[in-house]
Structure 1
């Protein structure tokens, strides 16, 4: 075994692989469900983060998305041009600007979330028993305990 997997059980490795493959498939399928308005995956990720976590500075977004501040500034500018985000002074620090969703940005985020949630809920209802859905809920709670990367 390689040095990184030397002390990891076979079941942990299999679980990691299976989770990665499944989440990749789900992510691709969910992306297919909504109109991206020709936004890049990075721009969609920023909109999603702002929709879930609320306003943030460009530097905070860059750190969260693990990109250079210059790259994030380019993404924010593109979203601003499309009217999906707005910049406002930070009430706690007037030197900083906070980026937040506009009404159109919130609508895009909500539509995207709703489309994915509805598709997945129907699929789980049609293809899984109540007991299997409860197992999925329990498995998700276990995955939530994992530390962020």
Structure 2
């Protein structure tokens, strides 16, 4: 029995599969991001810094949730950002076992420059789409997320 008879639909084609297409789009975006990144930041570092600028001082775990990163990933990201002098860590006055993460003055200045770069990266990533398609695409991606 072929794929069409088994599933009652079109035959399976990799080029029509959501995971494959999302991966290709993600690779395209990653290449654009890397070509325009500021100070060698990774996409995860970029996201963490922007979330800190939006939400202010927070715990490492909260930052991970805000930036959609697991515990191990956010720990590495925070460690590297601190090593670069972009974030500060201080004990939580309410729980001395917990550290609160915030932007350093250098980190805050970098975020201001990064937001413009982020907008250009998004525009370049979405450039093959019309403005209407861009809005629809972003709305649909948000729905999937």
Give your verdict on TM over 0.5.
yes
* 2:20 counterpart residue number: 17
Structure 1 length normalisation: TM-score? 0.62
Q: If you compute each CA radius of gyration, which structure gives the higher value, 1 or 2?
A: 2
Unmatched 5+ stretches in structure 1: 1-5
1:27 and 2:25 correspond:
no
Identify the residue that residue 134 of structure 1 maps to in structure 2.
Answer: 132
Aligned to 1:56: 58
Which segments of 5 or more consecutive residues in structure 2 lack a partner in the other structure? 1-6
Instruction: Give the TM-score normalised by the residue count of structure 2.
Output: 0.64
Aligned partner of 1:3 in structure 2 is none
Residues in 1 aligned to 2:79 and 2:120: alpha-carbon distance in whole angstroms = 31
The answer for the alignment partner of 2:100 in structure 1 is: 98
Task: Show CA shifts across 1:43-78 (max 9, x none).
Answer: 445334434554332234456422438x81x54344
Change (3 A) 1:45 1:119: closer
Determine the structure 1 residue equivalent to 2:70.
66
Assess, with a 3 A threshold, how the Cα gap between structure 1 residues 123 and 80 changes in structure 2: closer, same or farther: closer
Aligned partner of residue 145 in structure 1, secondary structure = helix
Q: Distance in 2 between matches of 1:81 and 1:139?
A: 37
Total equivalences in the alignment: 133
